[in-house]
């Protein structure tokens, strides 16, 4: 049962009848304290029972469903559903949305825990954005750090664990359809000075690119710069997406402890 974050008397319920041979996906919604119910299972796969439904705490039209064949999201309050492709197609038993980071924490049956970082782009996704050739979503602030002597990335890898998210900035891009164009993101300082250039294949749907907060080699070669091991200084930056003739800009902030660099240790 998922009480609504937005309306008194509203709630969602997911039920699974697979133990009795009923594999239909069932998600229903009430807006009158349970007097009446309507299905919001939409076009979920017919043979995939649902274990959990969650309503996004910021966007009432965004829903998540954990099914026996993976994680699904709806951007229109349950009329249509799409599978989140990076999550293994296994049973999803529970979903939680982190209140501070907006990360999606997923508990699976047989594949442990998974975290989908920064779901804010899903909150921002609208029909208007879906109709565009491409879009760059807002970029959350990033923090840079250097490892002190004696602390290296390999520490602790003797214990089985999943992969942590990459350090740096995470860019999320929407592409409507394949055109043969690449996704290109140019990062500049607030002064307009180029800092980094990133590229990725222009695959349809959501794509993500990461930047490690260091100048890219092409920028250093053309404009010069400091030691490539150094992170960029703290401050405001601009990212500009180019996809064919489409251009979209977003600004973001980088935090970094001043006076600390690889030369210090």
Q: What does the alpha-carbon distance between residue 147 and residue 218 come to, in Å, rounded to a whole number?
A: 26
Q: Which of 51-55, 212-216, 218-222, 249-253 has the lowest mean pLDDT?
A: 218-222
Give residue 168's pLDDT band: very low, low, confident or very high (50, 70, 90): very high
pLDDT at 72: 98
Q: According to the model, what pLDDT value does residue 62 have?
A: 98
Percentage with pLDDT > 70 across the chain: 88
Most distant pair of Cα atoms in the chain: their distance:
68
pLDDT digits (tens, 9 = 90+) for 110-138: 888 999 999 999 999 999 999 999 999 99
pLDDT for residue 265 is more than 70: no
- 92-97, strands of its sheet edge to edge: 92-97, 104-108, 113-116
Distances (CA, A) of 136 to 126, 154, 233, 251: 13, 33, 23, 11
Q: Which two tokens stand for residue 252?
A: 């973001």
Q: Kindly indicate the confidence band of residue 166, based on its pLDDT and cuts at 50, 70 and 90.
A: confident
Q: Which domains can be identified in the chain, with CATH numbers?
A: 2-122 (2.130.10.10), 127-264 (2.60.40.3080)
Determine the length of the chain: 265
Three-state SS for the chain is: CEECCCCCCCEEEEEEEHHHCEEEEEEEEECCCCCCCEECCCCCCCCCCEEEEEECCCCCCCEEEEECCEEEEECCCCCCCEECCCCCCCCEEEEEECCCCCCEEEEECCCCEEEECCCHHHHHCCHHHHCCCEEECCCCCEEECCCCCCCCCCCCCCCCCCCCCCCCEEEEEEECCCCCCEEEEEEEECCCCEEEEEEEECCCEEEEEEECCCCCHHHHHHHCCCCCCCCCCCEEEEEEEEECCEEEEEEEEEEECCCCCHHHC
What is the per-residue pLDDT for 246? Answer: 98
Residue with the bigger pLDDT between 162 and 91: it is 91
Which pLDDT value is given to residue 158? 59
- Nearest Cα neighbor of 187 from 117, 256, 236, 260 is 236
* Residue 6 token pair: 């937005």
8 Å CB contact between 243 and 181: yes
Tell me, what's the pLDDT at 227?
Answer: 66
How far is 5 from 113, CA to CA, in rounded Å? 25
Kindly state the tokens that stand for 7. Answer: 């309306």
Mean pLDDT over 32-40 rounds to 98
Question: 149 or 16, which is more confident?
Answer: 16
Q: What is the model's pLDDT at position 259?
A: 55
pLDDT tens for 62-91 read 999 999 999 999 999 999 999 997 888 899
């Amino acid at each position: 049962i998922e009480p609504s974050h937005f309306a008194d008397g509203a709630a969602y319920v997911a039920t699974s009848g697979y133990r009795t041979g009923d594999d239909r996906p069932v998600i229903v919604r009430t807006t009158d304290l349970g007097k009446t119910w309507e299905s919001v299972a939409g076009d979920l796969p017919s043979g995939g029972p649902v274990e959990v439904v969650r309503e996004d705490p910021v966007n009432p039209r965004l829903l998540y469903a954990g099914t026996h064949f993976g994680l699904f999201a709806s951007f229109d309050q349950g009329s249509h559903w799409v599978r989140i492709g990076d999550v293994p197609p296994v049973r999803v038993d529970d979903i939680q949305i982190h209140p501070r980071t907006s990360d999606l924490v997923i508990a699976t049956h047989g594949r442990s825990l998974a975290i989908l970082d920064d779901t804010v782009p899903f909150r921002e996704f609208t029909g208007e954005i879906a109709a565009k050739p491409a879009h760059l979503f807002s970029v959350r602030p990033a923090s840079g750090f250097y490892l002190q002597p004696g602390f290296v990335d390999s520490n602790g890898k003797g214990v089985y664990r999943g992969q942590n998210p990459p350090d740096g900035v995470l860019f999320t891009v929407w592409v409507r359809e394949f055109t043969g164009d690449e996704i290109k993101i140019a990062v500049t300082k607030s002064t307009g000075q180029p800092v980094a250039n990133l590229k990725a294949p222009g695959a349809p749907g959501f794509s993500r690119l990461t930047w490690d907060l260091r100048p890219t080699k092409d920028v250093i070669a053309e404009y010069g710069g400091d030691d490539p091991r150094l992170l960029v200084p703290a401050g405001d930056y601009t990212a500009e997406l180019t996809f064919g003739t489409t251009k979209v800009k977003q600004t973001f902030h980088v935090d970094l402890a001043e006076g600390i660099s690889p030369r210090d240790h």
